[in-house]
Structure 1
Amino acid sequence: MTINSRMVYSVGGVILLALLFRALSPILMPFAIAAVLAYMGDPLVDRLEERRIGRSAAVVIVFSCLTLVSLIIVLVTLPILLDQVQLLITRLHAFVQWFQAEALPQLRAFLDLPDRGQPPIDSAKEALSKNWNAAGGVLLYLWQKISGSSMAFITWMANVALIPVVTFYLLRDWDLMTAAIRKLLPRSREQLCVDLATECDDILGAFARGQLLVMLALAAIYTIGLWAVGVDLALVLGLVAGLASIVPYLGFLVGIVAAGVAAYFQFGLSWELLAVAGVFGVGQVLESVLLTPTLVGDKIGLHPVMVIFAVLAGGQLFGFLGVLLALPAAAVFKVLFSYLHQRYLISQWYSEGGLPLTPTDEESLSEPRQ
């Protein structure tokens, strides 16, 4: 088989794999989440194996500990979270009433718009009462949607139930699967593939473990800070800002805007607004100076613009599954692009028309990055 035919088959295989991934993305979510959890738990299992504990017993220990910690967190935070969500709904209803009664008339007066005499919400209610037959059709349509969504909800719950089962089996057979994949590699390229996979593992490990700890730490900092200020929705706002920090500066922007609006409607123009800004300012400084350098380090090396593009592109192509796997995929692509860049610099194509590289340069470029 010639080099050109190998290239054609390789590109065709990658395209078919991407199309298959896109077609199966609705059912791949539990498997993707389970693979991420198994990847993060495998080092703990390996450490227990080093202490002469069997693989299955080590998986049971790690899996049980993770499940117990998750249940404790859910049981502690879920009641508070439900109360704050109910409070959030009440605040949103009050905001709509305020906007309709006060802000909208002032906006019309400022823009010199004619007064329609009746608020839009009341007009909608009146139109609904005059067209009850049509409204009945709308209600029937909504009922059909709700009935269909119940099946979607059942499917979603089944997928959630699959996650721990798939995680357990992947975690138990993780080393066997990696060994089987290594046996399939071409013998002439095995060491190169192992070196690239090792570098990808360093980047993915730094991202999966370090970035998760950064997100949890920021969520705790924002929640405790907002609670100390006295914001009623401290837990909801802190969790949202912490989770959104997976994208650089997004958690800070979303958190400070949402918390500022919540504090304004709770306290008005007072010192609490400055305190909210101070909480997010302290969180941003701690993330830049302490959390990210300590927990993540410089192994990932993804530019913030690349991170934002990867998340948006993953969501556009594969939905939420693409968002979940966007940054790990971007880290892998970065490693592969760095290798291709090195090969390009020592290729004849690059040296044509310019000064040829010395043997020392070729040797340094051909060495895999550590």
Structure 2
Amino acid sequence: MTDIQIRREPAAVAAAEDRPLPLGRQIAFWLAALGVVGLCLYVFSGILLPFVAGLALAYFLDPLADRLERVGFSRLWATVVILGVFVLVFVLALLLLAPLLAGNLADFAAKVPGYAQRLQQLVVEKGSPWLERLGHRVQPADIQGSLGDVIGKGVAWGGDVLKSLWSGSQTLIGVASLLVVTPVVAFYLLVDWDRMIAKVDGWTPPRHRATVRELATEINDAIGGFIRGQSLVCLLLGAWYAIGLMLCGLNFGFLIGMLAGLISFIPYVGSLTGLVLASSVAVVQFWPDWVMVGAVLAVFFSGQFLEGNILSPKLVGQAVGLHPVWLMFALFAFGALFGFVGLLLAVPLAATVGVLARFGLKQYMASPIYTGVKTPDGGLPPDA
């Protein structure tokens, strides 16, 4: 009897080892891990910017390094060539565009009060007769006061947003250290990228490795497709807006157009911001020439048509799976929590959550909870 028990004991131990952890314990483990990651991001958000930027840069440039490897470059020399060219192009662009943008921005900021005052006067002059025809007697001072409050709140809100982003990226390190540390971090990460991916893949439990690889591939496609495609869309839109507004003769047309294009990664925010700024300046500058005001509006409406019907479908595609509302929420939420670091992390995290949510929904719809049909062991059916 004792021998039989001894012979059965290893089999029982093996069966216990093969038995998966209860679902509740797995959920508790991953929630705890997520909490630790979130706490680390919150505590170290002030110093994470160059490291997150370096990680993003390495991720962005990894496909180019893989291509150079396929044509005979070693990983080290592929990294050196790619980062060297990238830094050179970035420095040249900074030297050429920074003075122009800084000068335009300073001039625009100095003239904003005058534009706002003139716009208030035009609204009062042209709006009062319409209000009187509708039976509303409104004093010009009241209209000016209301418009002044709205403009003041809008300027204050924009200032608060810029201040929060700036302060979130400026603790313990400065812009100079960001420009120095980011390429170094990107270099080391890009050299070891494939080894790091293989190491993380080796940490995955073998029984779940196929599922995790499938999810990782979907997440990579979503992140890469959006970042690379949307970056090109933003650059093309910025060029379209800037050239169109400059051809219209709009004051600060280049600045407004590039600003609208560069913040177009936030759905609708970039185009609406540029439309409001450009139309306000156009009304003040060209009044009463409505043809030129219409030309300025046409630049933005045509840009929206190009983005929605040509650029985004071709460059970003529909397979990314990032709904505009979900993306806007992620950008604003992480930007408010972690400043510029949050903006860099928002898109990858939003894409990851989206892929995992679709996977969870797929599992739910294949489970007895949804179908009402149990598997032979009484649990969930196997993964598709």
TM (normalized to structure 1)?
A: 0.80
- Of 328, 331, 334, 1:314 maps to 334
The structure-2 alpha-carbon separation of the partners of 1:229 and 1:35, relative to structure 1 and needing over 3 Å to count, comes to same
In structure 1, the gaps of 5 or more residues are 115-119, 121-147
Aligned to 2:211: 192
Specify the SS of the correspondent of 2:265.
coil
The residue number in structure 2 matching 1:111 is: 139
Relative to 1, partners in 2 of residues 1:76 and 1:155: Cα closer, same or farther, differing over 3 Å?
closer
Q: Deviations over 1:242-299 (max 9, x none)?
A: 1221122211111111011122222223222111100001111110111011111112
After TM superposition, the runs of 4+ consecutive aligned structure 1 residues lying more than 6 A away are: 103-109
Structure 2 counterpart of 1:272: 292
Q: Residue 281 of structure 2: which of 238, 262, 269 is its match?
A: 262
Give the equivalent residue in structure 1 for 2:5: none
Matched, 1:349 2:369: yes
Q: 1:344 to 1:275 in 2, by over 3 A?
A: same
Deviations 1:175-194 (A, max 9, x none): 11111111111111112111
Deviation of 1:65 after TM superposition, in Å, equals 1.2
Query: Is 2:69 the partner of 1:49?
Result: yes
Give me the whole-angstrom Cα distance separating, in 2, the residues matched to 1:282 and 1:97.
30
TM alignment of 1:44-193, pairs within 5 A: 44-95=64-115, 110-111=138-139, 155-193=174-212
Letter in 2 for 1:260: S
**CA separation in 1, counterparts of 2:288 and 2:345?**
42
Residue 86 of structure 1, CA deviation: 2.8
Return the offset for 1:212. 0.4
Query: 2-side partners of 1:152 and 1:21: how far apart?
Result: 14
Q: Which residue of 1 aligns with 2:309?
A: 289
The 3 A distance-change label for structure 1 pair 348 and 99 is closer
What CA distance in whole angstroms lies between the structure 2 residues aligned with 1:159 and 1:69? Answer: 17
CA contact (8 A) 2:51 2:185 kept: yes
Residues in 1 aligned to 2:311 and 2:58: alpha-carbon distance in whole angstroms: 24
**One-letter code aligned to 1:87:** D
In structure 2, which of residues 223, 226, 233 is the aligned counterpart of residue 214 of structure 1?
233
Q: Percent identity?
A: 35
Residue type at the aligned position of 1:293: P
Residue pair 2:261, 2:270 contacting (<8 A) in 1 also: yes
Please show how residues 238-253 of structure 1 align to structure 2 within 5 Å.
238-253=257-272
Q: Where do residues 221-236 of structure 1 align in structure 2 (5 Å cutoff)?
A: 221-236=240-255
Paired letter, 2:197:
T
Q: Which moved more, 1:47-56 or 1:232-241?
A: 232-241
Counterpart Cα distance in 2 of 1:336 and 1:366:
14
Report the equivalent of 1:36: 56
Other-structure match for 2:9: none
Choose the corresponding residue for 2:346, options 326, 329, 334: 326
Q: Distance in 2 between matches of 1:42 and 1:197?
A: 16
Q: Give the counterpart letter for 2:296 in structure 1.
A: V
Aligned residues: 327
Contact 1:256 1:277 in 2 (8 A): yes
Q: Give the corresponding residue for 2:322.
A: 302
**Counterpart-to-counterpart distance in 1, 2:124 and 2:234:** 42
1:12 to 1:356, Cα distance in 2 relative to 1, 3 A? closer
Q: 1:86 to 1:15 in 2, by over 3 A?
A: closer
User: What's the counterpart of residue 127 of structure 1?
Assistant: none
Compute the displacement of 1:157 (Å). 2.7
Shift of 1:240: 1.2
Contact 1:207 1:328 in 2 (8 A): no
8 Å CA contact 1:256–1:280 kept in 2: the answer is yes
The amino acid that maps onto 2:62 is: D
CA root-mean-square deviation: 3.0
- How far apart, CA to CA, are the structure 2 residues paired with 1:41 and 1:167? 9
Name the stretch that deviates more: 217-226 or 244-253.
Answer: 244-253
| Residue identity matched to 2:69 | E
